[in-house]
Amino acid sequence: MWDPEKYLRFADHRARPFFELCQRIDAPAPTKVVDLGCGPGNLTVSLRQRWPDAELVAIDSSPEMVAAARERGLAAEVADVNDWVPDASTDVVVCNAVLQWVPQHDRLLRRWVSRLPTGAWLAFQVPGNFDQPSHTIVRELARSPAWRGQIGRVGCADPDEQVGGLRTPDVVLDS
């Protein structure tokens, strides 16, 4: 269960990558903007400010986060990103710090790209903190004789390998 209040304690740390990601989106007047994994909506409101005429859809899997986003006046809905399918009017999709929680997200990305209309923007980022103690300790534990059989293989995928399948003549990647 996600707690919006605890989540917002680290809002400054989460905001910088979001804003850096969104600055790269060159969509002057989108019709529909979707924030996948909107959390409590504190960053999603900036999308509404940037594109006031666009339909803004905010999606998160946590009912608590969606409730907090709605308190900010956002039309937020509880949904699983695995089930989301872009429609023909979707111009911009922002997915910040979500996909690291989604197994086989490379397949999900390929599905989204194949269904987005020509000229649409899919802006996503996955935190690259794989060398942090929280990750290295888990890998060490998984390799230890006591836990190897219980946990199995734990590893990190190379980001370029993850998005490599998206490279087509119609897709511009900036990884």
Arch. (CATH architecture) of 4-127? 3-Layer(aba) Sandwich (3.40)
Tell me, what's the pLDDT at 64?
96
Residue 76: closest CA among 100, 44, 105: 44
Tell me, what's the pLDDT at 67?
97
Delimit the domains of the chain by residue range. 4-127, 130-169
| 115 φ/ψ angles, rounded to the nearest 5 degrees | -105, -10
The span from the first CA to the last CA of the chain, in angstroms, equals 31
32-36: strand order across its sheet: 76-78, 55-60, 32-36, 90-96, 121-125
Question: Which pTM value belongs to this model?
Answer: 0.79
Tell me, what's the pLDDT at 88?
95
Per-residue pLDDT of the chain (175 residues; tens, 9 = 90+): 666 676 566 666 678 889 999 999 999 999 999 999 999 999 999 999 999 999 999 999 999 999 999 999 999 999 999 999 999 999 999 999 898 888 888 889 999 999 999 999 999 988 766 677 766 777 788 888 888 888 777 665 555 555 556 666 566 666 5
**Is residue 105 within 8 Å of residue 99, measured between CB atoms?**
yes
Measured at the CA of 118, the angle between CA 60 and CA 158, to 5 degrees, comes to: 60
Distance CA 34, CA 103 (A): 21
